Structure 1
Amino acid sequence: MTEEAPENGTEPRLRVYLSIRGDFDPLAFSVTVGLSGDWTMRRGEHNPARGVPRCDAWAIEVAERHSYDVEAMVEELLMRLTGHEDRIAATVRAWDLDASLIIVAYWNIEESSSPALGLSTEQMACLARLGAVLDVDLYARCSDCK
C-alpha cells in the first residue's frame, strides 16, 4: 500500500485489520485459533511488498475501500472473528503476542474531510477481550503542501 491520498474528491481510503505480532509460527496460530489469516509474515524472510520483517505476523483484514465510516469497517472485521475470539485471546496471552486493531486512513484535505473515527462500546469491549490495542494511522495530503 502506498501513502497517497484519494483523488478527485473521493471519500477517504480506509484499511482496517487485526494484526498479531511476535515470535511465533503464523501457520500454527491459524491452526490453534481455527481461522486462517489473510496474510502472514515470517521474521527474516524477504517479502517483496513489505521488505524483511523484524517479527512474525498474522492478520485478518477487510477489503480496503473509500468510506467515511470506520465503525462499519471495524464491525465487518469483528464479524469475521465471530466464534474465534476466545481462542485468539487465549493464544495471544499464552504465546505472549501483541494484538492490534489497525486503522489506516488516507485523504486529500483539499478534496475530502477526515473519516469518522468512533467505535462502539461493544467494539471496544471486544478489543479488550482480545487483548488488542488500537493503532490509528492518519495520512492527510494536499497538492500544495510541501
Structure 2
Amino acid sequence: MPTHTAYIYFGIQGDFDPYEFANRIKLSPDECVAKRANNPDHQIPKASLLRYAQVETFSDLIDIYELAERSIDILEPHLDSLISAIRDYDADPIFQVVLYYPVSEDISTPAFGFSKRVVSIIASTGASIDIDTYRL
C-alpha cells in the first residue's frame, strides 16, 4: 500500500467570473468555483478559484520534480493565453504542491525541487509557489 500521496496544480484566484476566465484558456480547469458560490450568506469562498493541470501520485517514493514537469507539460501549450488572462483579470496565480506522508523513521521524506524549466514558466506567469506538507 502506498505510503505517500502528493498532488500539484496551477491555481488562479481573484475577484472575477471564473467561467469567463476559463473560456479564455483552451484548457479545461480541473476545478472552477465562483466567489461566494458555496455559501453566499458567509461569502465563501472569498474569491473565485480555478485549478489547472492537476497531477497526483500515490506511491512510496514521491518525485516532486517529475510531478511538477507533468503539470507544466499540460500548461505550457496554453501559456500565452493563461498569462494574458491573468493580467486582464488581475488574477492571483499560485503553483501549489500538496504532500501527505507518514511519520516513520523507516520511510524517507521526499525531496523538493523544481527544474529550471518549471521555475521559468512559473515566473513567467507571476505565480507564487506554495508547498503544504501533512504528516499522516
1:88 & 1:70 partners in 2: Cα distance? Answer: 23
Change in Cα spacing, 1:64 to 1:22, as seen in structure 2 (3 Å) is farther
1:120 & 1:24 partners in 2: Cα distance? Answer: 32
Higher helix share: 2
Q: Which runs of 4+ in 1 moved over 3 A?
A: none
- Give 1:21's match in structure 2, choosing from 13, 18, 22: 13
- Corresponding residue for residue 41 of structure 1: 33
2:83 & 2:29 partners in 1: Cα distance? Answer: 15
Could you say what the CA RMSD is over the residues aligned between the two structures, in angstroms?
1.9
- Corresponding residue for residue 77 of structure 1: 71
Structure-1-length-normalised TM-score: 0.81
Q: Matches of residues 38-117 of structure 1 in structure 2 within 5 Å?
A: 38-46=30-38, 52-60=44-52, 61-66=54-59, 67-110=61-104, 112-117=107-112
Gaps of 5+ in 2: none
Contact 1:12–1:112 (8 Å) recurs in 2: no
1:136 & 1:82 partners in 2: Cα distance? Answer: 21
1:124 & 1:18 partners in 2: Cα distance? Answer: 13
Q: Deviations over 1:25-72 (max 9, x none)?
A: 11111211222101111111117xxxx311101111113433420111
1:12 & 1:28 partners in 2: Cα distance? Answer: 36
How many residues are paired up?
A: 130
3-state secondary structure, aligned to 2:13: strand
Contact 1:75–1:123 (8 Å) recurs in 2: yes
% identity of equivalent residues = 27
**Letter of the 2:68 counterpart:** V
Gaps of 5+ in 1: 1-7, 142-146
